[in-house]
Every structure is written in structure tokens, then in C-alpha cells.
Structure 1
Amino acid sequence: MFLNLNEIVSLIAAISILFGSISALISAVGIVRFRDTFLRSHAATKSSTLSVLLTLTGVFFYFLFTEGYFSVRTLLTILFLYLTSPVAGHMIIRAAYNSGSYMYMKEFTKKGTSLNYKYDRDETKKDRRKRAAKRQVMNEAFAKNDKEAFSKYNQVMKKDDK
């Protein structure tokens, strides 16, 4: 019972597509299960990129060896997704961070270890907007290289942390 090359490649392609589908399922579960935007985006970008790579690689090898069809579109799609998916995920996270989105932190995390701000589940939208406005002022001061405004921002944030 020897397998020829087409059968071996078909088996490898099927396994690759199967693992890609499993990775996509894990990504979907992560998106539903995680609590905040940051963790959900991490689940969406990391594992969905892997699932697309595995699925499209399986499709590419299947058509290359069984049909003799070399698909430049599939290769360009893989390249395009690898270039754009991390950037898109980063931009979504950046927008969420700048808008003051809720960030989950474990209860036993020491104050100041992550973002110098202890997030509270009961934090109101007004408080989040206020924090986002302060962060926006800091970003503008940093862009203008205004050291005085930057130091005022740091003093305000230290008062808020206490």
C-alpha cells in the first residue's frame, strides 16, 4: 500500500486545512470568551492570521500538485494578509487605548505595573472619557515637545493614582 505523490500532497493539504480550521475555531472562541477589546483583538489577529496561512497554504499545495495550477493570487493573498493583519490589529488597539476603553487586569496586579492606572470594573464612561482626554493632552504635548505640559500631565496622573 504505497501512496503516490499526489495522494501524499492531498493528505498534507487536507491536514493543513484542518489545522487552519481548528485555529479559526479557537480564534472565534477567544473573541467570544475574552472580556475586553485588547484581549479580543489579540485573539482575532494572532490566531486568525495563522488559520488563514494554514488554510491558504493547504489550498495552494493541493492545486499545485494535483491540478498542476500555480496560483499567484493565493500567494499574494497570503502576503497581503501577513502585511495588513498585524497593522490593522495594532490600529484597533491604539484607537481603543486612546478612547479610554476598559482594560482587564487581574486583582492581584501591583499598582503601576501595567499602565500606571488601576482599572476598575465599576469605572464610569465619564471617568474613561476624562482619562482619554488627559491622555490626548499628553500625546499632543509629547508631539510638540512641550516639556512643561508633559510634566503637568505627569503630576496630574500621579495625583489620580493615589
Structure 2
Amino acid sequence: MEITAAGTLEERVAALEAVEQIKALKYRYLRACDRKDADAFRDCFVAEGASMDYGPTGSFEDRDALTAVFRNVGLAREGGRYVVLDMHHAMHPVIELLGEGRAKGAWTLRFRQVDRVAGTEAVSAIEYDDRYEVEDGRWRIRSSSVTVLWRIARPLPEGVSFQGRFA
């Protein structure tokens, strides 16, 4: 968002608040992914008409379909342990307010994923292209698409051990 002297102080502060609320929304989404919180994940999207294109993961036309995939893949367990461990670090947000209750945003994501069943670790650089809108007084994701810039996958080393909450 470009901050200029145009507009009243109240309008400029409202714009800054909107941008910060959108950033907080994206961070809630990323934390929900990493914390394996399907309800918080679902709550980040508009109730109806959401459109998500997650590249190799697939395209989805509503938040329930996407949340079902999140539950089936992200929450899958084998032997009582999560199969997939994710780490989402988003940065470099560029947020543009488009008018009352609408905005778009671009983000760079450093994504790391461990698949215990496949015995692999992947690191990716991904670009998000999002659209946001206010629904029920809160910013939510209307649409999101990802472009994988690059990805490295490698086998996990022999004898690797897992520790922590999701280990």
C-alpha cells in the first residue's frame, strides 16, 4: 500500500488499519495451517463463493471443499502421528485496497514440508495472489492462487528423529 498525503487523516488511518487487519488474516491462515487447526483455517475464507487455486494441490470453489482436503491431508495420521508436518513463513506483503471492503494482496511464502510416510522433506518458494473482502465485519479471503517459483525435495536422512507437539 502506498501511503501518500492524499485523503484525510481519518481516511489514511482507516486504510492503514485495513492493511494491518488483512496481514493479521493471512497470519491467522498460516498459523492455522501449521497448528493443524481446521476450524481456524476454514474461518479465514468467505462463507460462499471462495475460489482457491493451489497449483499441484488442486482448485476448490468453496471453503468447505478446501477444508476437507486440509483435514484429509494435513491432519492425516499413521501410527498415531501426523504424516505431514508443515511450516509456512509468508513475507513481503503488498496489499492494495480496492474500495469499500475489497482488497488484493501478493505474498512470498517460504514453505517447508516433511512427509513421514514418503520419507521426504521439501522446501519451496511460492507466490500467493489473494483477493480479500469484508464479511460480517471481518476481512476474509475471497480467492487465492499460488505459483510455485521453485521446489527442492530430498529424502530424510537415516535415523532422523522428530520432537515437539506434532512429533
Q: TM-score, normalised by structure 1?
A: 0.29
Q: Which structure has the highest strand share of the two? A: 2
**Larger CA Rg, structure 1 vs 2:** 1
Q: TM-score, normalised by structure 2?
A: 0.28
